[in-house]
Structures are given as structure tokens and as C-alpha cells.
Structure 1
Amino acid sequence: MSIIEMLLKEMDMEAQTTRKMLSRIPDDTYDWKPHPKSMPMRSLAVHIAELPSWVAMTLQTDGLDFATMDFTPTTVSSTAEVLAIFEKSLADGKAALSNATEADLEPTWTMRNGDVVISTDTKGEVIRMSFSQTVHHRAQLGVYLRLLDIPIPGSYGPSADEPMF
């Protein structure tokens, strides 16, 4: 199995769990946050939904500069909207990865904030990091849902709310 095939397989596997987690968000919780330092549910959900698009962005650019990027947060008010963003982001990321070659994973990609370099990695490593970011923020979403007493779906096995036995 090639690296591209392995990344596509992982992307599909993580998408199943991400879709389940995002689908659990009640529409009336998008302004809720568990702590003043936490982001609201809306921001967290949209970030998770948009992360698969980082695959295409990584393959199509040499980096990201937070100081100069033109970013407008996506506004949503329902889980249906979040899921639509996720499906589009996933399709875009998978298409870019499907059309990539192993050589496309080798160039470096730099994340920075102006003159401050945050990281410089190969494009393949950045794609893997974006998958890790999805898992990280999905776990964060699990905490939000748990605090709202919303059942958590299983991810890499059963959950306390969806036991296997």
C-alpha cells in the first residue's frame, strides 16, 4: 500500500467517527462553551468540519501565514450546516490527495505568524498533523458533549454510552 493509499484509508476511517461526533451536536448548543477560555461549540464544530480541507490547502500551497491570511469564520446555526461543511471539506481533501503523487508529499510547508515560524515540515507530515488535529478537537468535542449529558459515540471501540456488551 502506498503512502497516499494509507492516508486516504486513514482519512476515511477518521471521517466515520468525526461524522458521528458532529451529528450529536444539538442545534440549541452552538453558543455554549464550558469555560471562559474555551471556544464556543459553533467555533469548535466548524473547525473540526473544515480540517479535512487542510489536505488540499497543504498540497496546493507552500505554507500558511496567520499574519497575512484573509480569514472569515464560517457561521453556522445547525448541525445540518456543520455536516454539509464537513462533507464538502472531506470531498475536497480526498480529491486533492487522490490526485497527489508520493513526490507531492516531500516538499516543505511552513506555518508562521509573520516572522515567527511555528513549524516547517514536509507536506506529508502536515497532512498527518491535520488528521491528529481532527482527533484532538474531536476529543475536545466529546468533553463538550459529555458536559451537556449528550451520549458519546464509540470511536476506536465502544463508548460508555454505546457499550459493546
Structure 2
Amino acid sequence: MTTIKMFLSELEKEAQTTRKMFERVPDEKFQWQPHPKSMTVQKLVAHIAELPGWITTTLTTDELDLAEVPYKAPPVNNTAELMTFFEQKLNEGKNHLEQAQEQQLTENWTLREGNQVYSSETKAEVLRMVYCQIVHHRAQLGVYLRLLDIPIPGSYGPSADDVSF
């Protein structure tokens, strides 16, 4: 199996779990946050949904300079918009992965803000970080859902809400 095929397979598996999590987010909880330093549900789910789009950025550029391209949060105001946005970014990322060549994964990619370089790694390493970000923030969403007393779906097996003890 090529590295690209492995990334495609993993992306689809993670997307299934992400969809299950997103489907449980109630519209009326989008402005809720567990702590003043925490993101709102809206910001968190919008960030998770946009992450597959980072695959496109990684494969089609050699760097992202936040001084030139400041971050703008995607406008996601309810679960329906969230699901649509996620599928759009997921399809975009998948399409670019399907068109990618293995040698692209060895090329360097840099994240910077002007002269401040945050990271410079191979595109394969950046894609791995993107996937880790998806899992990390989805786990964060799981904590939010738990605090809101919303059952959590299983990710890599059943959750405590899926089994009885």
C-alpha cells in the first residue's frame, strides 16, 4: 500500500467517526463553552470541519504565511451547515490526495508568520499532524458533549454510552 493510499484510507475512517460526533451537536449549544479560555462549541466544530482542507493547502503550496493570509474562522452556525462544510472540505482534501504523487510527500512545507517559523517539515509529516489535529480536537469535542450530557459515539470501538457495565 502506498503512503497516499494509507492516508486516504485513514481519512475515510476518521471521517466516519467525525460525522457521528457532529451529528450529536445540538444547534442550541453552539455558543456554549466549558471555560472562558475554551473555544465555543461553534468554533471547535468549525475548526474540526475545516481540517481536511489543510490537506489541500499542504499538497498545493510549500508554505502558509499567516502574516499574509490571516486566519478566518469558517461561518458555521448550525449542525446542518457544519455537516455541509465538513463534507466540502473532506471531498476537497480527498481529491487532492487522490491526485498527489508519492514524491510530493518528501517535499518541505513551512508554517510561518512573517519571519517567525513555527514548523518546517515534509508534507507527509504535515499530513500526519493534520490527522492528529482532527483526532485531538474531536476528543476535545467528546469532552464537551460529555459535559453537556450528550451520549458520545464510539470511535475505535464502543464508548461508555454504547455498552452497559
Assess same fold via TM > 0.5. Answer: yes
User: What is the aligned partner in structure 2 of residue 147 from structure 1?
Assistant: 147
Q: Distance in 1 between matches of 2:46 and 2:56?
A: 17
Q: How many pairs does the alignment contain?
A: 165
User: What is the aligned partner in structure 1 of residue 7 from structure 2?
Assistant: 7
How far off its partner does 1:70 sit? 3.8
Preserved CA contact (<8 Å) 1:158 1:164: no
After TM superposition, the structure 1 stretch with the greater mean CA deviation from structure 2, 139-148 or 71-80, is: 71-80
**Aligned: 1:125 with 2:125:** yes
Q: How does 1:146-165 map to 2 (within 5 A)?
A: 146-163=146-163
TM-score normalized with structure 2 length: 0.96
Q: How does 1:76-87 map to 2 (within 5 A)?
A: 76-87=76-87
**Aligned: 1:116 with 2:116:** yes
Q: After superposition, give the CA deviation of every residue in 1:84-131 in whole Å (9 maximum; x if it has no partner).
A: 011010000000000001011111000112211111110111111100
User: What is the aligned partner in structure 2 of residue 94 from structure 1?
Assistant: 94
Going from structure 1 to structure 2, the CA distance change for 1:164 and 1:126 (only over 3 Å counts) comes to farther
Structure 1 runs of 4+ with >6 Å offset: none
Unaligned runs of 5+ residues in structure 1 are none
2:129 partner amino acid: M
Preserved CA contact (<8 Å) 1:8 1:97: yes
Q: Distance in 2 between matches of 1:72 and 1:7?
A: 26
Identity of aligned pairs, percent? 56
Unaligned runs of 5+ residues in structure 2 are none
TM-score normalized with structure 1 length: 0.96
CA RMSD of aligned residues (A): 1.2
After TM superposition, the structure 1 stretch with the greater mean CA deviation from structure 2, 91-100 or 60-69, is: 60-69
